[in-house]
Chain A
Amino acid sequence: MAFNIYDFTTLTKSIHEGLSSQFSPTATLAIEWTIVGLAYLLFVALFGLFLVYAERKVCAAFQQRMGPMRVGPWGLLQTIADFIKLLMKELIMPKNADKFLYNLAPFIVIIVSFLVISVIPFAPGLATFDFDIGIFFVTAVSSVGVIGILLAGWSSNNKYSLIGAMRSGAQIVSYELSVGLSLITMIILAGTMQISGIVEGQRDMWFIFKGHVPAIIAFFVFIIAGTAETNRGPFDLAEAESELTAGFHTEYSGIKFAFFFLAEYINLFIVAAMATTVFLGGWMPLHFGEFESFNQIMDLMPGLFWFFFKVLGVIFLMMWFKWTFPRLRVDQILNLEWKYLLPINLFNILLMAAVVLFGLHF
């Protein structure tokens, strides 16, 4: 099995050839689907657990505490223990809930997260789908996720759940606009929506440097709107625990609650990975135009590590937000989107178009 940490196409090709020589084409396809599915499941479960641990440690650091320390070295096994506890909990069904929708809602949320994660390029040759509409597919699919939240809130037959779902719905629907528009700004610069093309376009320089002022504005708008879309603090009033117990997932327990919890952290990863891919070069190492020797030193670190290095940086930034700023009120959240972010974004698109048209970028 040929393996090269710098380029995974050789690995995937050798797996494909090995399977094709043993099985019929249909069986090969089925086995490959299974492998890819299992790989994503494993990745999401492990990375989700790691993110929960990271969040608790980061939170502890900001509050001058130690965080989880007892289970395993530095508390590393704490989230695994928590997860096993969640799996063994009883599934409680509210008596007057709409059973079909109540059971369906967590699956809609988690399936949408899995669909979006499938287009993210982790390293050269390590992405499942590479469409011509890449970025548009991400925004299209993630716009369906809010339906799961709305259904969860309504079908639980609980006032807190319903209020949480309404808040969350209003927030996600409005901030989707800003996420989409800031991505469009970058598509103008990239000239393509295909994700491999976007990463390839950053070979000489990352887009956030290439597009200077409008790209930096778009980056900040994307991070703010992305934080709001994942329902994380300071925008977490959908599950404001002091007012609404737990918002739309108040009535969920055990593994169904774990699905919502996991989906929240996958969405955090997705926002960070999209920010990395579109603004910070994806798996592309830090390159600066003509400095050949500098570029070659940067090439020593494989793309996979570059990708996770950048993603974890963005995730740390978003956790920093969460544990620094106080929660916003509903009217403040909607004002921020409709009166500030949206006009800034629309102006920024014009600015970017002008920059690209007159060739003012690097």
Chain B
Amino acid sequence: MNSEILFFLLSAMIIVFSILTVTSRRILRAAVYLLFVLVSTAGLYFMLNYNFLAAVQLTVYAGGIIVLIIFSILLTSHISERAQMAGRYQGLMSALAVVAGATLTLITIISYSFPAKSVVESPSDVKAIGRALVSYNENGYALPFEVVSILLLAAMIGAIIVARKENKAVKGLKK
């Protein structure tokens, strides 16, 4: 009973803050509402005993991506700025996208049978996760892991190239 109350509380938070994220006209507030959505999702994972996934959710999304978003807002926008209301064409297109996304999700949920499990799943075992990450047999994730690392490396090099100053005179000024 207790966990049901908690589940409905977290779900209500996710729904309310998701709506607020897209309707707020102040960009930093939208980012903070998004933070609340992500933290509530982490709460759901904790409820399901997927502790590792929940901690990853907190580190990567709340502590990483939201911090990056807030950082870029801090650098680029002023406190008095308000986002403009979307035009009719934009509104129509986003409504279409929302309907399509919702239909897809609903179809997936309804078609899945949700078999009842008699065995309680063991809490996330870090050793098993570590082994799966670097093993290359059927249940291993070595290839995706390496591909993602190369993608991140490429993004990092790209960022350095974009941010680097080409001007030699500026280089001489350093130190």
A10 within 8 A of B: no
**B interface, by DSSP: helix, strand, loop or mixed?**
helix
Other-chain contact of B63, A97, A133, A140 (Cβ < 8 Å): A140
A137 in contact with B28 (CB, 8 Å): no
B29 in contact with A133 (CB, 8 Å): no
A140 in contact with B55 (CB, 8 Å): yes
Min Cβ gap B157→A in Å is 16
B62 in contact with A143 (CB, 8 Å): yes
Query: CB-defined interface of A327-346 with B at 8 Å, one 1/0 digit per residue?
Result: 00000000000000000000
Other-chain contact of B52, A29, A136, A151, A166 (Cβ < 8 Å): A136
Q: Measuring CB to CB, which residues of chain A are less than 8 angstroms from any residue of chain B?
A: 26, 29, 96-98, 100-101, 104, 131-133, 136-137, 139-141, 143-144, 146-147, 150-151, 153-155, 157, 162, 165-166, 169, 173, 176, 192-193
Per the 8 Å Cβ criterion, residues 5-55 of B in contact with A are 26, 28-29, 32, 35, 39, 51-52, 55
A144 in contact with B1 (CB, 8 Å): no
Other-chain contact of A166, B28, B74, B125 (Cβ < 8 Å): B74
Other-chain contact of B64, A26, A29, A143 (Cβ < 8 Å): A143
A98 in contact with B67 given A133-B51, A140-B55 (CB within 8 Å): no
B67 in contact with A173 (CB, 8 Å): yes
Min Cβ gap A124→B in Å is 23
Q: A192 to B125: give the CA distance in the assembly, Å.
A: 10
Contacts of B80 in A (CB 8 A): 96
The number of chain B residues with a CB under 8 A from chain A is 30
A150 in contact with B74 given A132-B51, A133-B126, A143-B59 (CB within 8 Å): yes
Min Cβ gap A197→B in Å is 11
* Smallest Cβ-Cβ distance to A158: which chain B residue: B79
A155 in contact with B79 given A132-B124, A137-B51, A143-B59 (CB within 8 Å): yes
Contacts of B29 in A (CB 8 A): 98, 100-101
Contacts of A176 in B (CB 8 A): 63
Given contacts A136-B126, A143-B58, 13 further A-B contacts (CB under 8 A): A101-B29, A132-B51, A136-B59, A140-B55, A140-B58, A143-B67, A147-B70, A151-B32, A155-B79, A162-B74, A165-B74, A169-B71, A176-B63
A150 in contact with B71 (CB, 8 Å): yes
Give 24 A-B contacts (CB < 8 Å), ordered by A residue: A96-B79, A98-B26, A98-B28, A101-B28, A132-B51, A132-B125, A133-B55, A136-B52, A136-B59, A137-B51, A140-B55, A140-B56, A140-B58, A141-B58, A143-B63, A143-B67, A147-B70, A150-B67, A151-B70, A154-B70, A155-B28, A162-B74, A166-B74, A169-B71
